[in-house]
Amino acid sequence: MKLPGCAEHVTLSRRSLLGAAALSGLAGAGVSTQLAWADPGYRGDTLVVLSLHGGFDGLSAIAPIGDTDYYKARPTIAVPKSQVIAGDGTFGLHPALAPLLPLWKGGKLAAVHAVGQANPTRSHFAAMDAMENAAPGTSIRSGWLDRMLGVTGATGPLAGVSLGAAMPNRLFAGPAPAVSMAAIDKFKLAGDSAKRPMAEALRQMYADAPPLLAGPAAAAGKALAVTASIPPANGANYPDTDLGAALRDVARLIKAKAGLVTAAVDCGDWDMHDALGTAVKGQRMYDNLADLALALAAFATDLGPAAMSSVTLLTISEFGRRVAENASHGADHGHGNAMLLLGGGVRGGKVYTEWPGLSPGALVAGDLAVTTDYRSVIGEVLQKRCGLGSLSDVFPGVKPSSFGLAAARG
């Protein structure tokens, strides 16, 4: 059972045997992060899942400039062909993503378009709940990252960590133990102080204990030790945003070589029913994408090529936006969307898709059709980069995509 807590104080689950691990502080409204610690035997990539809550507009981020119906449907908010970057005549990146252009050209950043869930729903809650559960039509109620951890063997007392949120994300719902953090710098055992040195008492209590009993205490001690300050490297300059702070903390844990298996970062404010805006600075979509790009670029710079060779970051969102703009120069809840993939094993510099087109007859109730299940994209990453075999225990009934978007680990 995972234990809820207030934003200032969230504890370990009782299955950790240690209880009372907590954090104070707040990473910021709109962003939450969850982390999971590996058993020593795990040799796959660290998987970073960035949830773009609110309904990310993939048609703006990865503009289908070669589809004339795109410009008919969005006469004021479509990204002009003249303004896209990395355009290939069919798709182009929104100009606000310019900080990511070196990664795109270097083959470390890719996109997948017309991706999403099989069953359309325009309810934020229902769509995100289904996406994070990722087992429609079954009785499974756990989150898919929790199931991934079970397959990888990451089942120790610190198998899951949440940073920046009062309660663990649905992605980690299930039997894997979980810890919640407000921020890495605030990580401590609940109640630990100069007058009550609980952490030191815990270390002494289990110093001579048998491995079965000492293991959880040692894991907790290691977790506390890696919170020592590790500054950004390689000149990385994270934006002063909630997302920048969250990704900086994820990079710190990766650089600490603490055995991180997966991190789930939650970034909101993508629900743009109005004032989505044109592709210029000061407009809502432009500014949000610019913040996203700066944070991702800093993350890659901070880790450097060596560490990034064993990291894969991907984005998900509960649904996309309608193809046609509305009267408020925004776009309402839609269906098909785009995902971004960043990492040393990503075969980047291109958009992977089975493009259905945006003609009226190709749309699904006014939305971009989904031709690729988002789980199949993640499934390809799980198999090629995280060392999973069959996907049945994580994504029942799903086969990995055959795009070849990731290189197999050696």
Q: What is the pLDDT of residues 32-68, one digit of tens each?
A: 666 665 555 678 999 999 999 999 999 999 999 999 9
pLDDT for 410 equals 81
Angle, alpha carbons 223-184-153 (nearest 5°): 40
Angle, alpha carbons 78-316-164 (nearest 5°): 115
Q: Which residue has the tokens 């700066």?
A: 294
pLDDT for 268 equals 85
**R_g of the chain, CA atoms, integer Å:** 21
Amino acid in position 205: M
> Which residue in 312, 309, 332, 310 sits closest to 321, CA to CA?
332
Three-class secondary structure of residue 370 per DSSP: coil
Asked if residue 55 lies in contact with residue 320, where contact means CB atoms within 8 angstroms, the answer is yes
Distance CA 205, CA 201 (A): 6
pLDDT for 263 equals 86
pLDDT for 264 equals 86
Asked if residue 73 lies in contact with residue 358, where contact means CB atoms within 8 angstroms, the answer is yes
Q: DSSP character for 364? A: B
Distance CA 296, CA 334 (A): 25
Q: What is the pLDDT of residues 215-227, one digit of tens each?
A: 666 666 666 666 5
pLDDT for 210 equals 79
Q: Where are the beta strands (DSSP E) in 278-326?
A: 311-316
Domain ranges of the chain: 14-385
pTM, 2 dp: 0.87
* Structure token digits, residue 247: 């990704």
Three-class secondary structure of residue 133 per DSSP: helix
Asked if residue 261 lies in contact with residue 36, where contact means CB atoms within 8 angstroms, the answer is yes
- Phi, psi dihedrals of residue 97, rounded to the nearest 5°: -85, 15
- Phi, psi dihedrals of residue 264, rounded to the nearest 5°: -115, 115
pLDDT for 215 equals 63
Angle, alpha carbons 204-209-215 (nearest 5°): 90
Distance CA 150, CA 329 (A): 45
Distance CA 227, CA 184 (A): 6
Angle, alpha carbons 322-326-327 (nearest 5°): 175
Q: Which residue has the tokens 């504890």?
A: 11
* Low-confidence spans in the chain with pLDDT less than 70: 1-41, 155-169, 177-180, 182, 186-200, 202-203, 206, 211-228
How large is the angle between the packed helices 144-152 and 374-385, nearest 10 degrees? 20
* Structure token digits, residue 249: 């903390």
Distance CA 237, CA 234 (A): 9
Amino acid in position 289: L
CA 104 to chain centre: 19
Q: What is the pLDDT of residues 317-332, one digit of tens each?
A: 999 999 999 999 999 9
pLDDT for 305 equals 97
For the structural domain made of 14-385, what CATH number should be given? 3.40.720
Q: Are strands 46-52 and 260-267 parallel, antiparallel or unpaired?
A: parallel
Asked if residue 340 lies in contact with residue 314, where contact means CB atoms within 8 angstroms, the answer is yes
> Which residue in 42, 9, 5, 3 sits closest to 25, CA to CA?
9
CA 178 to chain centre: 17
Asked if residue 366 lies in contact with residue 320, where contact means CB atoms within 8 angstroms, the answer is no
